[in-house]
Structure 1
Amino acid sequence: MSLWVKLDLTPGSVSLQNPFFNIDDYLQVQLELFPPTGKYFNRSEVERIGFSLSNQTYKPPHEFGPYYFIASPYTFQAERGETSISSRQVIGIATGCTILVLLLVALAIYAIQQKKLAERAIGLSRPFASWAPSGNDSEGAPQLKGARWFSYDELKKCTGNFSERNEIGSGGYGKVYRGTLANGQVIAIKRAQHGSMQGGQEFKTEIELLSRVHHKNLVGLVGFCFEQGEQVLVYEYMPNGSLRENLSGKTSIYLDWKRRLRVALGSARGLAYLHELANPPIIHRDVKSTNILLDQNLTAKVGDFGLSKLVSDSSKGHVSTQVKGTLGYLDPEYYMTQQLTEKSDVYSFGVVMLELITAKQPIEKGKYVVREMRTAINKNDEEHYGLSNMIDPVIRNMPNLIGFTRFVDVAMQCVEEAAADRPTMSEVVKMLESILQNDGLETNSTSASSSITDFGTAIAASRHPYNKEALQRKEINDTHAFDYSGGYTLPTNVEPK
């Protein structure tokens, strides 16, 4: 600008011409300056122009390389004792100025792109970053109904610095600890480990959903912490662990048939609430025995909402989504179509009902419990439906399995191949209530993590998830990793209820 003023240039005094890449791959542009008066620049004017353009303080970024001002030779003409500059010098001046302008523009574009990439990266790696606009996680934490924010130091204190003696479970997500708050409340603390299978989005999903839904058959979220790079969820403590642990004999709790009926009814009520009373409805997407927990009264509570999906009004009854869940409980129709519905939860719950009968995991030794049960059923056997060899020995020899055949019928309806043939969860609740009521049992009495497996993300699967080939591969790769929204490894001195 100072050069412009000193030479008294006008808009018509500047011309940019002939941009091209030279043999060294530099962008070269000709800049021509014309004197506002007379035909030539004198020597002092040329020297001023050359000095100004050769001594720019602008430093371009490394990606764009250096810039150069190349002055063309100028032949001075005698005029009143003064000399003028040549057209080549003018071209050189133009070249340098143009390169400088282009570099500035390119730098601005680069900076804008980098900012957008950074914002996108934050959104992916820290999906809850919008909760902390100040940059301090704790200060930006939302005030969610029924859930409070905990500082990391507070959780360290109540778990004895996350000591091993307070560890009650571990798995792909991280570890679960028992802790006691200053007010004496016992809590379960699920702390994510770096590189865990559950990412930030699942962490955020579980916080937001559990803070909105409240039901006696859903695990309660006490609070959360995301601070100092930690992802921690704080739940109500479930002293009697998961249904899977109790069925597998890892605890000293005796689950007789009546208690199993009440566990089934309680967890069914929790799922029915999610499907029909939550607004908008929620599909759990990972219903399994390790995600059904038992409190001190053996009341069943559904947990682990990390994979859950909201069903909006525009979803038309289903959500097209990446297939996630746990093999053995995974709805085959959802697996093959990638269309998630409430009936997908119904299928998974049906598998849990079969677990209550057999006490075995859905897939063992290459055999799938749904197929084995369907093949073995003999309705001419009015007592055990032909399933004597499959029934858990703990309950098989009981003198009277109340409503057993009707319970099997409900379970098999839930695991129908076609979603349209399955009942809703509210219908399942009514059928289970009927089984208990018809046999004189009180339906309202107290009764009685997630391992995320990704099965395809881009296109619908053409094969059935439980064909023989898939089951053999599952058996080879099977691991019994700890799963929780809050599963626990229980102490051995738990007394039977």
Structure 2
Amino acid sequence: MDAKFLHFLSLIVFLIHFSTAFIPQDNYLINCGSSINTIVVDNRYFTGDFSENGSSYLSEGKSISLTNPIPASNSSVLYSTARIFTSVSNYKFNIKNVGFHLVRLHFYPFSSQDYDLKNAKFVVSANGKSLLSNFSAQFTILKEFILMVNRDELEILFMPASDSNFAYVNAIEVFSAPKDFIIDEGITLISPNEIQDFKQNISSKILETVHRINVGGSKLTPFNDTLWRNWIPDEDFLVLKSAAKIANTIHPPNYQPGGATREIGPDNIYMTAQQMNIDKRSSNFMFNITWDFPVRSEDALHFVRLHFCDIVSISLQTLYFNVYINGIIAFKDLDLSLLAFHELASPIFVDFVVQSSDNSNIVRISVGPSDLSNNLRKNAILNGVEIMKIVNPVGSEKTAKTKTIWILVGSVGGGSFVLSLAILSTLLVLKCRRKPEPRRVESTGWTPVRVNGGSSHGTLLEGPVLGYGLKIPFADIQLATNNFDKNLIIGSGGFGIVYKGILQENLRVAVKRRVPGNKQGLPEFQTEITVLSRIRHHHLVSLVGYCEEQSEMILVYEYMEKGPLRNHLYGSGLPPLSWKQRLEICIGAARGLHYLHTGSAQGIIHRDIKSTNILLHTNYAAKVADFGLSKSGPCLDETHVSTGVKGSFGYLDPEYFRRQQLTDKSDVYSFGVVLFEVLCARPAVDPLLDREQVHLGEWAMEWQKKGMVEQIVDHCIRGQIKQSSLKKFSETAEKCLADYGVDRPTMGDVLWNLEHALQLQESEMQIESQAETNLSPRFVPGVGVGVEGDSDDVSADITTSRVFSQLITSEGR
């Protein structure tokens, strides 16, 4: 290939990378000991730390600039100089963006006539927290730390270990991390004795990178990473190389909101993986892929981040596997499609804090097949690993300078201390004699969204504290579910696993428990309680209570005996629903959604309408469920709510997806897909079908526009549906799937037309019966509204305004 073309191609790759690179608000790149600004191989611009006018970063202390007399041919230009500190000295950086920052310190121990940097021994701290203690380097070392900077200045201090010693550094990087780079919520603690949620805030700790591994891939340099990181291959860490087989793809990762980003891990991390090396002809092998990562035995706690991206499956919910850390099962029956928002090749990451046993010098990570994959091809994957030591802060950088001051304070203040102690004791006694303050109601720790207004369709509950009276003790939930017995699992979703349970007084409930590591758990938990603690409706699933003890997030609902609508349409082997049952179910769900949209001043938009979120009671009464993604509707003077796209693939409103403008018509679109799902008894998305049939909404609309919708009706009900009923139903679904929200009906219109379709179905059946007994078909008693006129009048659209009195009834539609 022509050399000029290769150069051009590399330039294009660089420009693409540069155009998508993360741009930190704080970004200090310092070439220490130099007055020259330079560009390094990853195309970043480092500035010298001093000039003729003095340094803008060096704050205090004694230091000198040192030049490497014999620069190594293969070393970075940053290692041509060093800053030498002969006393306590520091760099100070102004911080614009308070939050997590990455700090990298470069050490290259060259020798000069006056200094051999291998002999240096020193301490480094950042804003008073220790980074390195009694540190010395015998070879080139890059130390990377992630720390919270919660003030407008970052001070990095270097202090020689003794008067006869010195400190040094060759280069410093300080830049702000992306938002949500490290999240306190959802971290699991793995210790030799137990597994539980990590109860401390990781944001109060300093993390030092120990390993950053591209599993199944090649070495990645800062040039390939938007945060300028190095990732090394995993081959040297595999315990049994023959157990693993590399998987890769040429397609970029399918990044989803709420999942991993290019800053969490670059594309190349999620485009390669190690998978189980199993012969395609066999599915009975049970073994794990295991990696051993060396760590220092004296470092007790490590932060471990595992990266996953399902690039080996051809369809959802076909890959289940277990994850083990130090021989303890850290994640059982992991379903990547569940955590990855029901998308293939969608990157996610899971965080753990690992407490090593005494004298352990490795962190062992394994992945292996799950028992749930009995009827599937067994496999397990891993895409990336990051291991970071949790650094223990050991005091202030001022220790050496202030030791004598504290001795003086101690001797002078001894008498004052005794007097102060006596005064303090008196104040405490007086405080204890005061009348106790009124007991405050326990808060859930977050501020609810108030829902105002009312409707005759249901009840809006008002109260000063969200969820007041709905808290259920964790012990009661454990008892109700037999300590979360796997045999009581009745489903799973984006939030967590659902168990069947029995509370006191034989109340049957559905218990939804958050999946460990779910980064979206807290917002969904809050929203669900916000919505359901204030509304009651016959066609909305009721919230029985919730629990947030012991870092648990658990929601308890009324138990819906028949389960999700989807199970009764396809895939479960249940008896098929009749056409009348399907109409009544759609009408019930439409009533619930209509109330949701209109029951308060702003209304509530569900955002995740699908057949698995419509549940059926004993008598097949439909109730809308799962309000974790719900949003309050626009104010009276607004047309939409601007928000990030959420929902389920196949049901998602294309206008909302394009414009990120949410309205209640987005729910109408999703409901339209459900209507065709009910009619055709097939999934909203089926990747195993031909390309033109994969997306149900698009495929059904093609048949509807050709006037041949009867060709795709579920064969189980084809002989039951009257033509007029089918016409009304399919036209309603078609209008719901209009490209633009303004062209779609309201849920009130949808509700009317579905009731009309049911009326047409029953009317024709009664007309046929009456014809046999010579009864007049002009009036049908007991159907709700009399049907008069010819067939064209019967099938004509009737707007919400004509049926408003019908919708507002004592039956609480």
Q: Same fold (TM over 0.5)?
A: yes
Secondary structure of residue in 1 paired with 2:548: strand
| CA pair 324-190 structure 1, distance change in 2 beyond 3 A | same
**2:698 pairs with 1:371:** yes
Identify the residue that residue 603 of structure 2 maps to in structure 1. Answer: 281
Secondary structure of residue in 2 paired with 1:228: coil
Secondary structure of residue in 1 paired with 2:709: coil
Match of 1:154 among 476, 481, 497: 476
| CA pair 238-64 structure 1, distance change in 2 beyond 3 A | closer
Distance 2:467 2:753 in 1: 33
Q: Which has the higher strand share?
A: 2
1:282-341 superposed Cα distances (whole Å, 9 cap, x missing partner) = 110000001000011111111111111112527712111111111110000000101011
Identify the residue that residue 674 of structure 2 maps to in structure 1. Answer: 352
Conservation of the 8 A alpha-carbon contact between 1:178 and 1:186: yes
Distance 2:128 2:626 in 1: 53
1:462-491 superposed Cα distances (whole Å, 9 cap, x missing partner) = xxxxxxxxxxxxxxxxxxxxxxxxxxxxxx
Identify the residue that residue 533 of structure 2 maps to in structure 1. Answer: 211
CA-CA distance at 1:123 after TM superposition: 10
Distance 1:206 1:180 in 2: 21
**2:468 pairs with 1:408:** no
Secondary structure of residue in 2 paired with 1:363: coil
Distance 2:696 2:682 in 1: 8
CA-CA distance at 1:202 after TM superposition: 1.2
Identify the residue that residue 443 of structure 2 maps to in structure 1. Answer: 140
Q: Which runs of 5+ in 2 are unaligned?
A: 1-58, 64-84, 91-122, 130-148, 155-176, 187-198, 200-440, 445-463, 764-781, 785-813
CA-CA distance at 1:267 after TM superposition: 0.7
**2:353 pairs with 1:293:** no
1:35-73 superposed Cα distances (whole Å, 9 cap, x missing partner) = xxxxxxxxxxxxxxxxxxxxxxxxx9943679xxxxxxx
Identify the residue that residue 409 of structure 2 maps to in structure 1. Answer: none
Match of 2:594 among 266, 272, 275: 272
CA-CA distance at 1:148 after TM superposition: 1.1
Identify the residue that residue 318 of structure 1 maps to in structure 2. Answer: 640
**2:320 pairs with 1:257:** no
Distance 2:468 2:516 in 1: 27
Distance 1:197 1:302 in 2: 24
The 5-angstrom pairing of residues 107-256 of structure 1 reads 125=185, 139-141=442-444, 144=466, 148-196=470-518, 198-250=520-572, 252-256=574-578
| CA pair 329-197 structure 1, distance change in 2 beyond 3 A | farther
Conservation of the 8 A alpha-carbon contact between 1:351 and 1:370: yes
CA-CA distance at 1:371 after TM superposition: 2.1
Conservation of the 8 A alpha-carbon contact between 1:347 and 1:416: yes
Distance 1:363 1:109 in 2: 50
| CA pair 147-245 structure 1, distance change in 2 beyond 3 A | farther
| CA pair 272-399 structure 1, distance change in 2 beyond 3 A | closer
Q: Which has the higher helix share?
A: 1
Distance 1:242 1:258 in 2: 18
The one-letter amino acid paired with 1:140 is: S
Conservation of the 8 A alpha-carbon contact between 1:147 and 1:224: no
| CA pair 21-261 structure 1, distance change in 2 beyond 3 A | same
**2:126 pairs with 1:63:** yes
Give the number of equivalent residue pairs. Answer: 334
The one-letter amino acid paired with 1:357 is: L
Distance 2:783 2:631 in 1: 29
Identify the residue that residue 481 of structure 1 maps to in structure 2. Answer: none
The percentage of aligned residue pairs carrying the same residue is: 40
| CA pair 172-311 structure 1, distance change in 2 beyond 3 A | closer
Identify the residue that residue 683 of structure 2 maps to in structure 1. Answer: 361
1:420-464 superposed Cα distances (whole Å, 9 cap, x missing partner) = 1101111111222222234447779xxxxxxxxxxxxxxxxxxxx
Secondary structure of residue in 2 paired with 1:278: coil
CA-CA distance at 1:204 after TM superposition: 0.7
Distance 1:286 1:373 in 2: 20
1:85-122 superposed Cα distances (whole Å, 9 cap, x missing partner) = xxxxxxxxxxxxxxxxxxxxx999879xxxxx9xx999
1:324-359 superposed Cα distances (whole Å, 9 cap, x missing partner) = 111110000000101011110110000000111101
Match of 2:629 among 307, 312, 316: 307
CA-CA distance at 1:171 after TM superposition: 4.2
Conservation of the 8 A alpha-carbon contact between 2:634 and 2:640: no
Conservation of the 8 A alpha-carbon contact between 2:567 and 2:574: no
The one-letter amino acid paired with 1:373 is: A
Secondary structure of residue in 2 paired with 1:150: coil
More moved, 193-202 vs 206-215: 193-202
Conservation of the 8 A alpha-carbon contact between 2:721 and 2:761: no
Identify the residue that residue 333 of structure 1 maps to in structure 2. Answer: 655
CA-CA distance at 1:173 after TM superposition: 3.0
The one-letter amino acid paired with 1:194 is: P
Distance 1:353 1:341 in 2: 19
Secondary structure of residue in 2 paired with 1:316: coil
Secondary structure of residue in 2 paired with 1:397: coil
More moved, 237-246 vs 396-405: 396-405
| CA pair 399-268 structure 1, distance change in 2 beyond 3 A | closer
Secondary structure of residue in 2 paired with 1:395: coil
| CA pair 205-225 structure 1, distance change in 2 beyond 3 A | same
More moved, 435-444 vs 341-350: 435-444
Distance 2:701 2:126 in 1: 66
Secondary structure of residue in 1 paired with 2:657: helix
Secondary structure of residue in 2 paired with 1:125: coil
| CA pair 210-271 structure 1, distance change in 2 beyond 3 A | same
Distance 1:269 1:148 in 2: 26
CA-CA distance at 1:226 after TM superposition: 0.7
| CA pair 315-165 structure 1, distance change in 2 beyond 3 A | farther
| CA pair 398-171 structure 1, distance change in 2 beyond 3 A | same
Structure 1 moving runs of 4+ over 6 Å: 106-111, 120-124, 441-444
Higher RCO (CA < 8 A, seq sep 6+): 1
Identify the residue that residue 467 of structure 1 maps to in structure 2. Answer: none
1:6-46 superposed Cα distances (whole Å, 9 cap, x missing partner) = xxxxxxxxxxxxx8654238569xxxxxxxxxxxxxxxxxx
| CA pair 443-410 structure 1, distance change in 2 beyond 3 A | farther
CA-CA distance at 1:372 after TM superposition: 1.7
Q: Give TM-score scaled by structure 2 length.
A: 0.38
Identify the residue that residue 82 of structure 1 maps to in structure 2. Answer: none
Secondary structure of residue in 1 paired with 2:701: helix
CA-CA distance at 1:362 after TM superposition: 1.6
Conservation of the 8 A alpha-carbon contact between 2:491 and 2:498: yes
More moved, 274-283 vs 19-28: 19-28
More moved, 399-408 vs 147-156: 399-408
Conservation of the 8 A alpha-carbon contact between 1:147 and 1:221: no
Distance 2:487 2:128 in 1: 59
Distance 1:149 1:156 in 2: 14
Distance 2:528 2:761 in 1: 38
Identify the residue that residue 750 of structure 2 maps to in structure 1. Answer: 428
Distance 2:629 2:651 in 1: 14
Distance 2:714 2:698 in 1: 17
Conservation of the 8 A alpha-carbon contact between 1:262 and 1:443: no
